[in-house]
Chain A
Amino acid sequence: MPVRISDSRLSSLYATLQTNHARGGNEQIDDAKVVQLLAAVADGAGVSFDKALGQLKAPGLSRAEQVGIVQKNMSASEKKDLVQILDAGTVPMTPSARAFIEAVVGRATVSGGGSAGGTTGGGAAYGPLKISADQKNGISGTVAPGSTIEAINITTAPGGRLHMDDTMVIAKADNAGKFLGSLPDVKEGDLIRLRARDASGKPGDWVTIRATGISASDTRNAVVAMQRIGLTAGTAGKVNVENINSSRQVSEPGAKLQFTNTRTNEKKVVTLNDQGSFPEGFTLNGQAGDTFSVSATDGKNNTAFSTEAGRVSVPGSAPAGTGDLVKDPALHKDELNADGTPRFSKKTFKGPLFNNGPTFDDVKQGQIGDCYFPSAMAALAKSDPDAIQKMIKSNGDGTYTVTFKEQDYATGRFKDVAVKVDGDLYVRSYGGPLYGSSNGDTSPDRMEMWFPLIEKAYATWQGSYDTIGNGGMSSDVFEHVLGKPGRDMTVSTSSSTQDRVWSQLKKAVDNKWPVSAGTHGESQEALYTNSGVYADHSYSVLGYEERNGERYVQLRNPWGESEPSGNGANDGVFLLKMADFSKLYQTLMWAEG
């Protein structure tokens, strides 16, 4: 169930948290952030957001008094918004933050002051999930009748792109509360994380079990996601170690990883926390350029750390003058070898930033799942090329500075974020850029550079090409370029919605605001094959036409090709009847330029 929030400020604040969380950030709603969200509910009736925030942050206030402040101006629709966040929200919450919101909507009573505890995960609403003794014949147990059981194998999850809550439904409890289900590829000793969800969709608390009874011995070691281990040179001979995608695991919780510095042969073992990540502040002895051999054990396998999982290096080893001018963002995980090393090399591109300014047809998406980004940049090039020219500048030393806009969570205002990059781009064996490029000449000396450099800067800012390469929304990109809130509306085939979408689209195009549109996802693919439009894809909206009483939307595929037949040259630009647009697209996105 998607979260639909009617209050605009609350929606904007929550969307920011959602985006940060979805991009792999370590975002969660804690006591500080929940106060921000609730200030958006406490405002109104002559009380501004800032004033409400000040009231909620007043020193010495009890939690009960805070709840009273929020409830005073809370409308029925805002209450529904909070219930949505509690029940369908995708951003994790601390128990304290959840208890606060539950108290505001009347689900729980308040006990004590600002750090009051509360129910966690809704598990108190029904009987706890209990798992039977072993998993010889599957995963069985008892829970409240009618509940569904979700599970994920967190021993193998680090080998994929799964979060720890990317579960699959394995069973439904019968009238007696009994269930039996199975997960694929479970082996003896694997860690399985489960929870129940009641008939209303409310999830219970997590339960983690170690699979037993399947075979005589545990033969599968902890899987290590080498690509998520990030090393940076610190001070005083220390190397900082972090999970560069902290919303996903490095390995299974409780696994021990041994790091061996190949220069000094010094070894250090760390035990991963309950999120399968490094404990905060974990460091190694070493320096820039050092390489560490990593091996892991789950306590049963590889206990002597004799089998290496892979190697990881501390950036900064290149001799002066021959290496990076600026550290480059890591490749998408699909382009990394098993040991975390890149499968593609880099070349330094030195072409002009612009050939006759930025235009929409400069933009060409590369082999990365970030269609929302090139479609947004092409839309911006069409509507507001000045904004692009202002956001990127050459520093004259082989580096470039790209300036994005970021919303300050506390004030709601946008601030500049300057990101420095150099001209190094990952390339294929035959020399063309692997990721975003410009249409036309892609040779290192002549390619127009603005789009691939802005994409690279976006990857740098967000964390890596992997961070930006697993989907997103163009409205976020509009916001990050223009410093104006990105907007979106749902497209549908109903005539009233078609009229509203058409009206909004015309208004945006006429005002020279950037516009893009996203197609439906996986359940609709069979509608897309042979249509010339692709599922799960984002397109720039370049304009509209009205001819003989028929409405048309002009769109562009960010691939720079592939379009419905009958639209002239295969350049990705095409006209679609509004009726077809309404069938094939699910979201219209824009920002007021």
Chain B
Amino acid sequence: MAIPPEPLAEILPHATWVVEAEVAEVLASGPEAPKLSAPPGWTDTGQKVASQRVRLKVLRVLRGKDVQELVVDKPVAGYALRTGNKGPFLLDGSQPHPVILGRYGPDSYALAKLESALKG
């Protein structure tokens, strides 16, 4: 699903944590999302993939309590995570497992853009 990421100004207020992190392990995956029908070759069909629970090794905390590891949930979305994926993660305050915000997870916003927004 290739709609642009949500405007950062709309997502950032909901982020309890902003961390630079790496996926250390994919712990679990949810049920497969319903398959949408589309002719071959179509793009932007809105097809989503299953939710995941992943363990993040936190490299740097830009906002929120200082932690070294987090177990977080990736919602049903148009992207999937695998071990070794890294980048900035915006996380909400859900307990016990925060949910990853942003339509494309760590690929939603450039780190420089986030750092600038957090300073501002």
Known: A367-B3, A536-B78. A18 touches B39 (CB 8 A): yes
CB atoms of B39 and A536 under 8 A apart: no
Output the least CB separation between B85 and chain A (Å).
5
- A368 proximal to B (CB < 8 A): yes
- Which A residues are in CB contact (< 8 Å) with B87? 530
CB atoms of B41 and A488 under 8 A apart: yes
Output the least CB separation between A150 and chain B (Å).
11
- Which B residues are in CB contact (< 8 Å) with A371? 2-3, 43-44
CB atoms of B43 and A537 under 8 A apart: yes
- Which B residues are in CB contact (< 8 Å) with A488? 41
- B49 proximal to A (CB < 8 A): yes
- B93 proximal to A (CB < 8 A): no
- Which B residues are in CB contact (< 8 Å) with A472? 42-44
Known: A22-B39, A530-B106. A369 touches B80 (CB 8 A): no
Partner of A529, one of B5, B6, B46, B81: B81
Known: A166-B37, A369-B45, A470-B44. A529 touches B2 (CB 8 A): no
CB atoms of A166 and B78 under 8 A apart: no
Distance, CA A174 to CA B50, complexed state (A): 28
Distance, CA A570 to CA B45, complexed state (A): 25
Distance, CA A163 to CA B33, complexed state (A): 16
Q: What 0/1 readout, one digit per residue, does chain B (24-44) give for beta carbons within 8 Å of chain A? A: 000000000111111111111
CB atoms of B85 and A530 under 8 A apart: yes
- B67 proximal to A (CB < 8 A): no
Q: Which of A163, A470, A534, A587 counts the most B-chain CB atoms under 10 A from its CB?
A: A534
- Which A residues are in CB contact (< 8 Å) with B37? 90, 163, 165-166
CB atoms of B4 and A536 under 8 A apart: no
- Which A residues are in CB contact (< 8 Å) with B75? none
CB atoms of B104 and A473 under 8 A apart: no
- A19 proximal to B (CB < 8 A): yes
Distance, CA A2 to CA B37, complexed state (A): 11
CB atoms of A526 and B3 under 8 A apart: no
CB atoms of A473 and B43 under 8 A apart: yes
Segment with Cβ contacts to B, from A114-122, A214-222, A253-261, A516-524: A516-524
- A277 proximal to B (CB < 8 A): no
- A538 proximal to B (CB < 8 A): yes
CB atoms of B44 and A536 under 8 A apart: yes
- Which B residues are in CB contact (< 8 Å) with A163? 37
Known: A365-B4, A529-B80, A530-B85. A518 touches B43 (CB 8 A): yes
- B117 proximal to A (CB < 8 A): no
Known: A473-B42, A526-B81. A536 touches B34 (CB 8 A): no
CB atoms of B43 and A522 under 8 A apart: no
Output the least CB separation between A243 and chain B (Å).
19
Distance, CA A223 to CA B99, complexed state (A): 30
- A370 proximal to B (CB < 8 A): yes
- Closest A residue to B42 by CB, please name it: A471
- Closest B residue to A168 by CB, please name it: B34
CB atoms of B39 and A522 under 8 A apart: no
- The total of chain A residues at the interface (CB under 8 A) is 52
Distance, CA A526 to CA B81, complexed state (A): 6
- B47 proximal to A (CB < 8 A): yes
- Which B residues are in CB contact (< 8 Å) with A521? 43, 45, 47
Output the least CB separation between B41 and chain A (Å).
4
Q: Which of B3, B36, B81 counts the most A-chain CB atoms under 10 A from its CB?
A: B3
Distance, CA A546 to CA B17, complexed state (A): 44
CB atoms of A369 and B44 under 8 A apart: yes
- Which A residues are in CB contact (< 8 Å) with B44? 369-372, 470-472, 536-538
- Which B residues are in CB contact (< 8 Å) with A579? none
- Which A residues are in CB contact (< 8 Å) with B38? 22, 471
- A92 proximal to B (CB < 8 A): no
Q: What 0/1 readout, one digit per residue, does chain B (65-89) give for beta carbons within 8 Å of chain A? A: 0000000000000111110011100
CB atoms of A538 and B2 under 8 A apart: yes
Distance, CA A535 to CA B42, complexed state (A): 11
CB atoms of A570 and B79 under 8 A apart: no
Distance, CA A561 to CA B107, complexed state (A): 12
Output the least CB separation between A130 and chain B (Å).
26
- Closest A residue to B105 by CB, please name it: A529
Distance, CA A529 to CA B86, complexed state (A): 9
CB atoms of B82 and A471 under 8 A apart: no
- A408 proximal to B (CB < 8 A): no
- Closest A residue to B41 by CB, please name it: A587
Distance, CA A410 to CA B39, complexed state (A): 23
Partner of B47, one of A518, A522, A570, A586: A522
Distance, CA A570 to CA B82, complexed state (A): 25
CB atoms of B39 and A368 under 8 A apart: no
- B118 proximal to A (CB < 8 A): no
Q: Would you give 8 A-B contacts (Cβ < 8 Å), ordered by A?
A: A19-B39, A166-B36, A369-B3, A471-B43, A529-B82, A534-B79, A536-B46, A537-B44
In the complex, given contacts A4-B40, A470-B44, A475-B41, what are 12 additional A-B residue pairs having Cβ atoms less than 8 angstroms apart?
A: A166-B34, A367-B3, A471-B43, A473-B39, A518-B43, A525-B49, A526-B81, A536-B46, A537-B43, A537-B44, A562-B5, A587-B41
* 6 A-B pairs with least C-beta separation: A537-B2, A2-B40, A471-B45, A525-B80, A518-B43, A522-B47
